[in-house]
Amino acid sequence: MNSAAEATRIRTVATASANTISKRSDGFVLWEIMLALLIFSVVVVALTSALQQTVDASILLRDESQVRFELQNLLTETAAQKLTPGKSSVVVGDGRVHYEREVRAVQAKTAKGVILPDLYEIIVQASWNSSGHPRSDHAEIIVYRP
C-alpha cells in the first residue's frame, strides 16, 4: 500500500509538473508572437519611410530635369530673337517655376584692343519650391549678333 500511495503521489507531482511546463510554454509562445509582431512593425515602418524618400527623390529629379530643359529652350529661343538689353519675366508651363531672363551687353576687346560690338550675355534664372524648400537654377550664354 505504501508503494501504491507513493506511485499515486508521483503521478500527481508529474501531472502538476507537466501542467506547469505546459503553461510556461504557452506564455513563451505568446512572447514569441509579440516579438515577431514588433519586428514586423519596425520593418514595415522602415520600408514605408524608404518608399516615401524614393518618391520625394523621384519628384525632385523630375522637376530639376524639366527646369534644365526649359532653361535650355529659353536660352535658344532668346538667342534666336533680336536682342535688346534688359530683364523680363517668362511664363512657361503650368507656372510652378518662375523664370527670369536677362540680356546684357558685353564690352569685350580683341587682342589688338578693338572693342567687339553686338556681343550679348543671356542669363536665364529659374526658381521654384520643392517639398517646401526653395530651389533655383540658372543658365547663361554669350552670343554674337552682328
Residue type for 59, please? I
CA–CA distance, 125 with 82 (Å, rounded to integer) = 20
Nearest in space to 135 (alpha carbons), one of 60, 72, 66, 71 = 60
Among residues of the chain, what percentage have pLDDT more than 90?
55
Global confidence as pTM? 0.66
Cβ atoms of residues 122 and 94 within 8 Å = no
In the chain, how many domains are there? Answer: 1
Question: Mean pLDDT across the chain, nearest whole number?
Answer: 86
b/e map of 81-116 (b: 16 or more CB within 10 Å)?
eebeeeeeeeebeeeebebebbbbeeeeeeeeeeee
Give the tens place of pLDDT for each residue, 101-140.
999 999 888 888 888 888 999 999 999 998 888 999 999 9
Cβ atoms of residues 118 and 138 within 8 Å = no
Residue type for 118, please? D
Which residue segment(s) compose the domain that 97 sits in?
2-144
